[in-house]
Amino acid sequence: MDFIKTITAIVGSENVITERTECICYSRDMSVHEGIPDMIVYVHSTEHVSRILKAANEARVPVTARGSGSSVTGAVLPTEGGILLDLSQMNRILEISPTNFYVKVQPGVICAQLNNALAQHGMFFPP
């Protein structure tokens, strides 16, 4: 079984993009750097992430994790190609602890979403 079929079996064909034009859309963030992935994979759970990382490791395919793509450092760009693992659908706030001043979030949570939830507790997260 080839690698794309392996990944598609994990997340479904609707969550795998290999078209070059679409991949180029994910080649930039807010920095001046660029890196074009060979495929974009949308994940919805930690199980997806784990299975994809296992398959990528076995096939020696590089993986770059991307939350919401707002980086200004180039840190979410797949400079070696491979998989761009889009975590934006994992966007739940799991826990807010006002007394301990911490939150537990999934990697796709954006600051505005977090700050809206924190406002209910008289708190905010400065970007």
Task: Please state the pTM of the whole predicted model.
Answer: 0.86
Q: Which residue spans within 1-127 are E strands per DSSP?
A: 16-17, 39-42, 63-66, 83-86, 93-97, 102-105
Task: Return phi, psi of residue 3, to 5°.
Answer: -60, -45
Question: Could you give the CA distance from residue 95 to residue 115 in angstroms, rounded to a whole number?
Answer: 13
Question: Could you give the CA distance from residue 111 to residue 89 in angstroms, rounded to a whole number?
Answer: 15
DSSP 3-state of 86: strand
Q: What is the pLDDT of residues 65-122, one digit of tens each?
A: 998 766 777 678 888 999 999 999 999 999 999 999 999 999 999 999 999 999 999 9
